Amino acid sequence: MKIAIRAFHALAEWRWETQEESCPICCQAFDGCCEQCRYPGDDCPPVYGECGHHFHVHCITRWLSAQDNNKNCPICRREFKFQAHTISRITSAASTSTKRLWHRITSSTSSSRTSDSSDAFQKSVSFLLTPPLWTYGAMRHYQEQMLELTGANSMQARFSGESDLARKIKKNIKILDAMSVVELASNHKSVFTPMTKQLIAEKANTDIPAVETLIREHDMLRADRRWYQIRTQFNRPLPRTAEEREVLATRDRPLSETEKELLKSEQNKQVNKYMDKMKMQYPKAVNSLFFRHPSKGYDRWRIAPPRNEPRFNRPRVRPPNKL
């Protein structure tokens, strides 16, 4: 028995795979569309953030464009970053207008991050040039300003946790608080003795290498400060970003005492390595007592070998006579 199907009417239902039913910004369902779109589907897809919240692509775009500096999630106030599968979905299945919108979002976000990092670096340079004398007390105030600049005390840091830079700055402030008044008023590392470093480490509840790292950092910042002052004196532009600072530092930045010591120790290591290699290639010279007959003159018990004695422990080969 055979059945011939003349007509077939299929009915299907699709839904976006989201944990939430509606967009928190426009309060419209994800199966529908936002206020700007007419029809649901690929023209108005939901986007996923790394924080776990979902929004319409147009809604989160308006939200991010309304904020000047901080591109935060409207719910948890963390920095909003798109997930990887959201990027692949938009770039593959979305329409042309949505793709253009997506590229505008990503380009504006990257440019804003670049400008934010540039502004932060310029502020750090101004903080470094503010004190008249670069003492350890001035470094403590500089560390506090850098801690505020990183946003360690903001609401976003409370939700997302402290960064490695913020933890390092807080550790440096703790070590600087453990110093005495005389040490905070000094501007050179010669004031710190091994016993002083040990006392500071015990008071700050840390180890001696951490204290030595802070002292080296103070010395390098003093060299940076002197370099910025020289460039300002000769009307040369200061670096605006960390990358530009790395390029300009290779040209005319003076080395600090710490960097000179590190460079000298590295050179000594290379010299010692070369000398060890040379000692392996050539045997040691003969350095023992040699008995001399009185008829030869000189001292009978000299340490230096006689002229006819080979200097190294190897037979002397006389070159053949050329006829």
pLDDT given at position 213: 92
Helix, strand and coil in the chain, % to nearest 5:
55, 5, 45
Write out pLDDT tens, residues 96-143. Answer: 555 565 555 555 544 445 556 778 888 889 999 999 999 999 999 999
pLDDT given at position 93: 46
Tell me how far apart the alpha carbons of residues 265 and 259 are, in angstroms, rounded to a whole number: 10
Identify the residue with better confidence: 95 or 19: 19
6 burial type by CB count under 10 A (0-12 exposed, 13-18 middle, 19+ buried): exposed
pLDDT given at position 288: 47
Tell me how far apart the alpha carbons of residues 270 and 49 are, in angstroms, rounded to a whole number: 51
Phi, psi of 55 (to 5 degrees): -145, 160
The continuous run of DSSP H or E covering 186 comes out as: none
User: How high does pLDDT run on average in the chain?
Assistant: 76
Tell me how far apart the alpha carbons of residues 140 and 172 are, in angstroms, rounded to a whole number: 8
Write out pLDDT tens, residues 52-88. Answer: 788 887 788 777 777 655 677 888 877 777 776 665 5
| Residue 214 pLDDT greater than 90, yes or no | yes
Q: Percent of the chain at pLDDT above 90?
A: 23
- Please tell me the total number of residues recorded for the chain in this structure: 323
Q: Domains of the chain by range and CATH? A: 14-94 (3.30.40.10), 115-270 (no CATH)
